[in-house]
Structure 1
Amino acid sequence: MKSRFVKARGLILGVMQKTKYFYLILILFCTTLSCDNDKAKAGRFLLMGNNELANLNYKEAIRLYTEAIGKDPQFKEAYNNRGVALYKSGHYAEALNDYTFAIVQIDPRYTDAYKNRFEVNLVSGSYQRALEDAEYLATVYPDSAYTYLYQGLALTDLKRYDEAISKFDMAYQKDPENVEAVVNQANAYYMSNRYEKARELLQKAISIDATEANIYNTLALIATQEGDFQEALKQVNQAIEIDSRNGYFSNNRGFIYLNLGELEKAEADINMGIKLDPSNPWAYRNKAIFYYDNKSFDAALRNIELAAQYDDSIPLLNHYWGLVLVELDRMDEACAKFSLSESSEKEMLIKKYCK
């Protein structure tokens, strides 16, 4: 199970607020003078696009931003905001193109586009590129806690945990009320199997903001790793009580129910996790485990392969992949998966099934 806490993603929309008033003044000025030049038209399209984006009408927002760009091809805010609309509608590659165009072709110092490109790189798995964007932002805003938070997030996904922990600590030093820095630092300790230090930091996070759901989710992850599934269930229920729309929380509870043998509840939570976040590989892995436990091996294989399309490095994926292939009598493939597994049962399974 994975836990990433990135409330900082709210910054992705900040550019819209910053540009709105300038173009509103421009439009009012042009209206007063009865002018109707292309820049004024572009500004109007931008404002209309912002309104559609605020109302979650992404397709129409994209169309309006494209109109703005047609009137003013150097309109960096329109590229950036179109990137936001594309990102929000799941078109990550196109969003990345817009952010990069705004930076490379128009303004190499356009920090809003760097922030947004960091986000899309992080979500799409381009962790090194995300780190490079975060490092650039740190040169522009060396006193900002969030630039260190961004670096820490990318370093965590790169599995450079000690460096990530250092960056999160720097973010906390810049802003001692920054619960995100503390929870993400705890997550880095959790991901590197240092559970006691993670717990210590999560208690600190509770003293900063006890209503932060990710605290209890990470406590649930730790309890799960230690085999205390009742404690894990207690903690994840608290997380879901605070934030019932988090797909990772629902999926994590589904995994806990799998380990408690409550398969009906597990299936419901895992399905909810997929509904809330259809690109969550952990949910597909857990659904594969559910099907394996129910001896539906073809369905288990489909879900494992789907999980691997999103992230083929998640724990237990190769372990269950191998077990499913054994049941399907595909022994050579099973042995290849066991050889990649990090499970404690790896050597036993290889000895049992592989020559």
Structure 2
Amino acid sequence: MKKQFIILLIFALGTLASCDNEESKKGRFLLKGNEKVKDNDLTGAIKFYTEALAMDPEFRDALYNRGLMYQRLNQLDQAIQDYSLVLQGNTNDFEVLFQRGLAYIDNGEFYKAQNDAKTLTSTYPEEWKSFFLAGLVAERLKQNEDALVAFDRGLRLEPQNVDLLTNKATILYYIKKFEEAENLLQQALAINSKEANIYNLQAMVAFERDAFEEALSLVEQALELDPRNPYFYNNRGLFKLYLGDLEGSLKDINQSIKQDPRNTYALRNKGIYYYYKGEKELALQYLRELYERTPDMELVEKYFKLTERL
């Protein structure tokens, strides 16, 4: 079950000169873009940042903010391009390196993300986000021990950081140290009971214990806090499958796929849905390819072989 990683978005805010010169005009476009962000009009924000960049193609704050908007809209190639343009002027810009590393991860460019993480950990070893990024990259590369080391280094800098605690717990979940993961999640919950990822990961641990009703309740708490998260919908769909609510499950799985068509865990769950419906050919359409490409994905081998016997 894929977990959505925490993405930190920090906006650059400009100040305006009183005189009506080119500098103040591009600054006004920047602030108009920021106002659009507050209204959750991300496309409108991009238009104003682009207006500012038409006046000054090297305007760092406009490039960075436009990159953030592209990232939030999952237009990752455009986001990476804007971040890279900023870095041409300052190769060690901390926030831009961090955000580009996250965008690379979401774009499946893990080794490029790893390079940005290495730059951050060597140049900014005092910053927890340097090790946070390094941990995320290591997790995606299935280097779980390296991920734990990175998150631990971050936690030495920020012992009460919920992002680090939750993502370390995720690695412990992957290596089936469920009790240790639960302990970290309880610690994170005491710090911030409004962090949706905590409840989602608790739900995943409960699922491993075959506590399906508890898992469903927990992921619904996660969805109350973050109702647009495709991975939470996918997990809820899986739990509903195991509780026999097949149609409710399909609705959640389809919602997840609509939001993130590349989520292979949702495609797996749709194959499992068709297995439970007794529709062998449809189930195999989803499960066969996953079994051939990622046979170690949890539940894939089990349901592929069960489907073959239908």
TM-score category, normalised to shorter length: 0.7 to 0.9
1:41 to 1:301, Cα distance in 2 relative to 1, 3 A = farther
Query: Equivalent residue for 2:266?
Result: 283
Query: Equivalent residue for 2:187?
Result: 204
Q: Is the 2:170–2:201 contact (alpha carbons within 8 Å) kept by the matching residues of 1?
A: yes
Q: By how many angstroms is 1:312 displaced? A: 8.6
Aligned residues: 309
Letter in 1 for 2:12: M
Q: By how many angstroms is 1:221 displaced? A: 1.1
- Secondary structure of 1:184's counterpart equals helix
Task: Find 1:154's aligned residue among 137, 142, 158.
Answer: 137
**Which 10-residue stretch deviates more, 40-49 or 246-255?**
40-49
Question: Following the alignment from structure 1 to structure 2, what is the Cα–Cα distance between the partners of residues 135 and 178?
Answer: 21
1:233 to 1:55, Cα distance in 2 relative to 1, 3 A = closer
1:162 to 1:241, Cα distance in 2 relative to 1, 3 A = same
Q: Is the 1:236–1:252 contact (alpha carbons within 8 Å) kept by the matching residues of 2?
A: yes
**Which 10-residue stretch deviates more, 134-143 or 183-192?**
134-143
Q: By how many angstroms is 1:201 displaced? A: 1.9
1:16 counterpart = 2:6? no
1:137 counterpart = 2:120? yes
Question: Following the alignment from structure 2 to structure 1, what is the Cα–Cα distance between the partners of residues 233 and 189?
Answer: 21
Question: Following the alignment from structure 2 to structure 1, what is the Cα–Cα distance between the partners of residues 35 and 309?
Answer: 54
Query: Equivalent residue for 1:3?
Result: 3
Task: Find 1:118's aligned residue among 97, 101, 109.
Answer: 101
Q: Is the 2:64–2:86 contact (alpha carbons within 8 Å) kept by the matching residues of 1?
A: yes
- Secondary structure of 2:83's counterpart equals helix
Q: By how many angstroms is 1:226 displaced? A: 3.3
Query: Equivalent residue for 2:233?
Result: 250
- Secondary structure of 1:16's counterpart equals coil
Task: Find 1:69's aligned residue among 46, 53, 66.
Answer: 53
- Higher helix share goes to which structure? 1
1:320 to 1:144, Cα distance in 2 relative to 1, 3 A = same
| Identical pairs, percent | 35
Letter in 2 for 1:16: A
Q: Is the 1:4–1:184 contact (alpha carbons within 8 Å) kept by the matching residues of 2?
A: no
- Please list the CA deviations of residues 305-348 of structure 1 after superposition, one character each: whole Å capped at 9, or x if unmatched: 8989x989743346545666787xxxxxxxxxxxxxxxxxxxxx
1:250 to 1:190, Cα distance in 2 relative to 1, 3 A = same
Letter in 1 for 2:25: K
Structure 1 gaps, min length 5: 328-355
Question: Following the alignment from structure 1 to structure 2, what is the Cα–Cα distance between the partners of residues 61 and 244?
Answer: 23
Question: Following the alignment from structure 1 to structure 2, what is the Cα–Cα distance between the partners of residues 319 and 146?
Answer: 38
Task: Find 2:219's aligned residue among 214, 231, 236.
Answer: 236
Q: By how many angstroms is 1:238 displaced? A: 3.6
Letter in 2 for 1:205: A
Q: Is the 1:69–1:78 contact (alpha carbons within 8 Å) kept by the matching residues of 2?
A: yes
1:59 to 1:206, Cα distance in 2 relative to 1, 3 A = closer
- Please list the CA deviations of residues 50-82 of structure 1 after superposition, one character each: whole Å capped at 9, or x if unmatched: 333333333333333333222222222222222
1:216 to 1:40, Cα distance in 2 relative to 1, 3 A = closer
Q: Is the 2:98–2:129 contact (alpha carbons within 8 Å) kept by the matching residues of 1?
A: no
1:174 to 1:233, Cα distance in 2 relative to 1, 3 A = same
- Secondary structure of 2:12's counterpart equals helix
Q: Is the 1:247–1:277 contact (alpha carbons within 8 Å) kept by the matching residues of 2?
A: yes
1:42 counterpart = 2:26? yes
Q: By how many angstroms is 1:253 displaced? A: 1.8
Q: Is the 2:98–2:130 contact (alpha carbons within 8 Å) kept by the matching residues of 1?
A: no
Task: Find 2:69's aligned residue among 59, 62, 85.
Answer: 85
Give the root-mean-square deviation of aligned CA atoms.
3.0
Q: Is the 2:4–2:231 contact (alpha carbons within 8 Å) kept by the matching residues of 1?
A: no
- Structure 1 or 2, whichever has the larger Rg, is 1
**Which 10-residue stretch deviates more, 314-323 or 95-104?**
314-323
Q: Is the 2:165–2:184 contact (alpha carbons within 8 Å) kept by the matching residues of 1?
A: yes
Q: By how many angstroms is 1:304 displaced? A: 5.1
Question: Following the alignment from structure 1 to structure 2, what is the Cα–Cα distance between the partners of residues 277 and 136?
Answer: 30
TM superposition score normalised by structure 1: 0.76
In the TM superposition, what are the counterparts of 1:23-38 in structure 2 within 5 Å?
A: 24-25=16-17, 28=18, 30-31=19-20, 36-37=21-22
Question: Following the alignment from structure 1 to structure 2, what is the Cα–Cα distance between the partners of residues 321 and 54?
Answer: 46
Question: Following the alignment from structure 2 to structure 1, what is the Cα–Cα distance between the partners of residues 189 and 43?
Answer: 40
- Please list the CA deviations of residues 92-116 of structure 1 after superposition, one character each: whole Å capped at 9, or x if unmatched: 1121111112213x22222232122
Question: Following the alignment from structure 1 to structure 2, what is the Cα–Cα distance between the partners of residues 319 and 71?
Answer: 58
Letter in 2 for 1:100: S
Question: Following the alignment from structure 2 to structure 1, what is the Cα–Cα distance between the partners of residues 44 and 288?
Answer: 35
